[in-house]
Amino acid sequence: MALHCEKGLLPFSCREPVVEQCIYCGKHFCVKHGHVEKASCNNIICSRNYKRDRAFKERELWEEERRRVGLERNASNLCGSPECINEVYVACGHCEVLFCPNHVSRCTFSFNTYSRRTTTRVQGDITLCEACKPHLKEYKRDHYE
């Protein structure tokens, strides 16, 4: 049986030719029932997933670009922050770009370690640049929890 749009209100109610398959729910859809360029159908949940993924990707691209610029500047012994005139001082614990003291901060956090009988609260810290601060949570989770 040929593929047909799976997004009509009733099964087989939409007779339009299919143009794309939704990457979230797997349904094939026609031009009327989805967004070809996004490979996402018009379902609310799928559209929401698409928006979340796109925001995430944009953030990744932005960080990647920032990292590239930073490393380029580091090669000339300059702080990784664009337009900063200071020399490098310390590396960011996440992106590993070198920065001057003005462009990094020490982020402290606490976490629990468990032994058979007791739970101990321990302090940890990491040096992060501005752009990497949102990663503190993941870092803590990956390394300590």
The residues of the shown chain that bind Zn ion, judged by CB under 5 A, are 5, 7, 14, 16, 22, 24-25, 30, 32-33, 41, 43, 46, 79, 81, 84, 86, 92, 94-95, 100, 102-103, 129, 132
Min CB(111)–Zn ion separation in Å: 21
Burial 22-57 (b: 16+ CB within 10 A, else e): bebeebbbbeebbbeebbbbebeebbebbeeeeeee
Q: Which is nearer to Zn ion, 7 or 20 (CB)?
A: 7
Integer Cα distance of 142 and 93 in angstroms: 13
Q: Which is nearer to Zn ion, 90 or 100 (CB)?
A: 100
Min CB(15)–Zn ion separation in Å: 8
Q: Which is nearer to Zn ion, 1 or 120 (CB)?
A: 1
Q: Tokens 């379902």 label which residue?
A: 43
Integer Cα distance of 110 and 122 in angstroms: 5
Q: Which is nearer to Zn ion, 72 or 112 (CB)?
A: 72
